Chain A
Amino acid sequence: MAFGPHLLLAVLEGLVTSAVLALTALGLSLVFGVMRVVNVAHGELFMLGAVLAWAITTSIGGNPAIGFIAALLLAPLIVGAVALAAERLVLRKVNYDPEATIVATIGLLYIIQQLALTFYGADARPVLPPFNVRISLPWFGYSGYKLSIIAASALLLVISWLVMTRTKAGLIMRATQYDRETAQAFGIPVDRVYAGVFALGAMLAAIAAVLIVPISQAHYLMGQDPLLLSFIVVIIGGLGSLRGTVVAAVLIGVSDGVISVFFSPTLAKMIATLLVAMVLVFRPQGLFGRTAR
């Protein structure tokens, strides 16, 4: 293949990664921003979404589209419920203390991972995509499903932005993020906001996982890469900045795609890590983050 089309293919692959990464990282950023909780188990909630997508599509059977739509609706709800339970039973009990929540979510990581290993097993299992359309470009054919992932992610990001900036729920979340004490003095039940945000963050990860699982299979260890990349994205983009999260996800995803295709995946990871180091040195608040008040 000539260089031009080869590059286009690499960019498209990168954009698919970016699309999934942006949703996952947005969930992490939301939890980190509003609750000041570093959710180390975020990747496992992603994995849980993928495993549940397999379970749901397998149990429904029939037309893959029906199973997939069911998974897209049910898996995030179940993952959200799991996160809600974890928030009430664990994070709330340690009073959202920053250090204690890191330790607690590390524990959560292993619990979810081992439960998945016990009940789902160590195999990687495929989920059929809802449709099989190949978009034929002049140089190569490309999966229509992959393009639909990009579209779905873009749509969800726009919805998230509208919710954060235009709705009462968004206003409440932003107020809690900015100053929880003053928020309480204006009748905002910070405790319930936290529960909702933690569940919402987990649901975003689960949606991302359901979208990606037809291309990458469900496996009980699949949560580690998304966790690492999400942290990279949140650090580069800046805490609590939706725009920063999207820009950083595209940056990391596309560069990962291009460098992986032309050089090696290891080099891509090295460059991403170097980028994080540079951001931390020269712009610790992230590209779009604001300096702490």
Chain B
Amino acid sequence: MIDALTVSGLDCFYGEVQVLHGLDLTLRQGEVLCLLGRNGAGKTTTLKAIMGLVPARQGSIKLSGIDLTGLPAHEVPKAGIAYVPQGRRLFAEMTVAENLEIGLNTRRKGRATRETVLEMFPLLRERLKQRSGTLSGGEQQMLAMARALCVEPQVLLLDEPTEGLMPSMIQKIREAISQLRQRGVSTILVEQRVDAILSVADRVSFIENGRNRETLEIEQLRADPSAVKRYVGVG
């Protein structure tokens, strides 16, 4: 089976500081791959590099065969990747409907897409006219995911979607991720806590010092959680 996304030998810098050192990553078709690692390990930078928001100095990024390396940042989502940034980064002064419209405009999707997305997050339908900055944290996270899904992506990048949410909301976000997997969306999920991902991830890549140290099937990890201790520091 062809891989959904392949990252190989990626070097990224913030100014003179090298953040990613030859990072390799493979996202299989239809799976949820989780990136685990400490603060500052390079997880968020990896996602930003895939989106073209941080330039790659070395290495390549390929979306099912299409080379994304070096594309201008605004062309990357048009190839079929959507991004839910850390901290949600909604256009807080705009309404829920306007945030969704920005998502839809990315690949010129229309009503049908919007309906599908709203069916997944029915709560948002009641809040379409509301300013998105006034939503609760969980609702904002849903909107951030809904906005990304308006792109109708093959690949979805989620950066700490459960950060700061109450448990019932975390559960809803997890359900949404599983639902997307059933629809064949391949997802990269960045998390800091392993318990947040055990139920949704297919594989886990451990990121440390800008490198992908090890990638494990979730069953392997369940059987032997020592890797978590090694790379994340806590069980």
What are the residues of chain B within 8 A of A293 when measuring CB–CB? 92
What are the residues of chain B within 8 A of A179 when measuring CB–CB? 89, 91
Give the bracket for the number of chain B residues in contact with chain A.
20 to 34
Binary flags per residue of B66-104, CB closer than 8 Å to A gives 1, else 0? 000000111111100011010001011110001001110
Considering the complex, give the chain B residue whose CB is closest to the CB of A179. Answer: B89
**Contact B105 A187, beta carbon cutoff 8 Å:** yes
**Contact A186 B93, beta carbon cutoff 8 Å:** no
Given A182-B89, A187-B107: A175 in contact with B102 (beta carbons within 8 A)? yes
- B14 vs chain A, min Cβ distance (A): 14
Binary flags per residue of A160-173, CB closer than 8 Å to B gives 1, else 0? 00000000100110
Q: Is A281 an interface residue (CB 8 A)?
A: no
Given A174-B91, A179-B91: A168 in contact with B105 (beta carbons within 8 A)? yes
What CA separation (Å) do A179 and B94 show in the bound complex? Answer: 12
Q: Is B151 an interface residue (CB 8 A)?
A: yes
What are the residues of chain A within 8 A of B105 when measuring CB–CB? 168, 171-172, 186-188
What are the residues of chain B within 8 A of A184 when measuring CB–CB? 51-53, 73-74
- A197 vs chain B, min Cβ distance (A): 16
Q: Is B203 an interface residue (CB 8 A)?
A: no
Binary flags per residue of A280-293, CB closer than 8 Å to B gives 1, else 0? 00000000001001
What are the residues of chain A within 8 A of B78 when measuring CB–CB? 187
What are the residues of chain B within 8 A of A188 when measuring CB–CB? 74, 102, 105
**Contact A186 B147, beta carbon cutoff 8 Å:** yes
What CA separation (Å) do A293 and B101 show in the bound complex? Answer: 22
What are the residues of chain A within 8 A of B151 when measuring CB–CB? 186-187
Contact of B92 among A178, A183, A186 (CB under 8 A): A178
Q: Lowest 7 A-B CB distances belong to which pairs?
A: A187-B106, A184-B73, A182-B89, A185-B83, A189-B74, A187-B77, A186-B106
Please list the residues of chain B having a beta carbon within 8 angstroms of any beta carbon in chain A. 51-53, 72-78, 82-83, 85, 89, 91-94, 98, 101-103, 105-107, 147, 151
